[in-house]
């Protein structure tokens, strides 16, 4: 996905789309509890559960311990709304959560940090966590905890973008186009050329080329939209896009 993401980063400048209120800025602006801020924070926590869980696991904790620690961290964040520092700095969610988790792990004692199974607000279903744990092929012996976090952050973001894109295509009745055209977004060699896709779908090659152009353009828009949700100020969007690209390229 790197090429498409790179083009997105290059194509958005100071005169681009106006910056709108984001989920993260809603959280930062909230002086007290509000339904909007609570919903925004919980959605953002769901997005970062898997990356942060990977960080905890890489620090030597067994799966159940890591589950409890990650759950306990988000319980603290959701209930205490411990956002004074990041509110002052107008920080990026990606960086803030990792720093906060490191502090949480460093200060918490085992009896204080565990969340009993079945209690609290379960942000990620256990069966989903187990499935992803089994499918995890990251070489834990050579990848640092920070890099695992960054990699999972980028892949989760990418997953959200592609899920939204696929949903739009299915809603529009273009599901048959999505899977073959999605292959063309990747920097990896596609199994099929545009000409082969055109033959399979009974379309002209020019029609496939135009359809891919539309898909790539929408992909860029959705990627930027996902990034916007996790920064508080417009100036951070481009830096986060560049960081996203660099993580996927390593």
Buried b (16+ CB within 10 A) or exposed e, 82-117: ebeebbeeebbbbebbbebbeebeeeeeeeebbbee
CA atoms of 28 and 22, how far apart (whole Å): 10
What residue spans of the chain are helical by DSSP H? 2-11, 23-29, 35-58, 63-80, 84-89, 93-107, 110-113, 126-135, 145-171, 175-183, 194-201, 205-228, 235-249
Sign of the alpha-carbon dihedral angle for 229, 230, 232, 235: negative
Half-sphere exposure of residue 158: CA atoms within 13 angstroms, side-chain side: 18
For position 209, what pLDDT does the model report? 94
CA atoms of 237 and 221, how far apart (whole Å): 13
Can you tell me the mean pLDDT for 176-205? 88
Q: Which of 15-24, 135-144, 166-175, 230-239 has the highest mean pLDDT?
A: 166-175
Please write the tens of the pLDDT for every residue from 66-125. Answer: 888 888 888 777 676 655 555 545 568 888 889 889 988 887 655 444 444 444 445 555
What residues does each domain of the chain span? 1-17+139-250, 20-136
Please write the tens of the pLDDT for every residue from 19-38. Answer: 556 677 666 665 566 787 67
DSSP, collapsed to helix, strand or coil, labels residue 66 as helix
For residue 124, the surrounding DSSP H or E stretch is none
Rg over alpha carbons for the chain, rounded to the nearest Å, is 20
CA atoms of 162 and 165, how far apart (whole Å): 5
* Distances 73 to 33, 41, 49, 148 between C-alpha atoms, Å: 19, 13, 10, 18
For position 143, what pLDDT does the model report? 80
For position 31, what pLDDT does the model report? 53
The answer, as to whether pTM is greater than 0.85, is: no
Is residue 87 within 8 A of residue 66, CB to CB? The reply is: no
């Amino acid at each position: 996905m790197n090429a498409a993401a790179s083009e997105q980063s290059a194509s958005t400048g100071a005169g681009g789309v106006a910056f709108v209120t984001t989920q993260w800025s809603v959280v930062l602006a909230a002086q007290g509890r509000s339904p909007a801020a609570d919903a925004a924070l919980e959605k953002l926590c769901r997005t970062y559960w898997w990356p942060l869980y990977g960080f905890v696991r890489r620090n030597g904790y067994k799966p159940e311990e890591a589950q409890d620690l990650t759950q306990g961290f988000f319980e603290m964040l959701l209930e205490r709304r411990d956002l004074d520092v990041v509110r002052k700095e107008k920080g990026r969610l990606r960086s803030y959560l990792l720093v906060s988790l490191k502090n949480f792990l460093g200060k918490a004692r085992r009896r204080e940090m565990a969340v009993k199974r079945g209690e609290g607000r379960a942000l990620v279903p256990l069966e989903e966590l187990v499935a992803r744990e089994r499918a995890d092929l990251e070489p834990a012996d050579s990848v640092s905890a920070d890099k695992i976090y960054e990699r999972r952050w980028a892949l989760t973001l990418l997953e959200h973008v592609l899920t939204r894109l696929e949903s739009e295509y299915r809603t529009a009745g273009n599901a048959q186009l999505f899977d073959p055209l999605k292959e063309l977004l990747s920097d990896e060699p596609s199994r099929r050329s545009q000409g082969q896709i055109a033959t399979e779908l009974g379309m002209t090659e020019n029609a496939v080329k135009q359809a891919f152009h539309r898909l790539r353009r929408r992909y860029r828009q959705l990627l930027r939209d996902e990034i916007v949700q996790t920064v508080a100020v417009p100036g951070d969007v481009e830096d986060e896009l560049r960081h996203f690209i660099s993580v996927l390229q390593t």
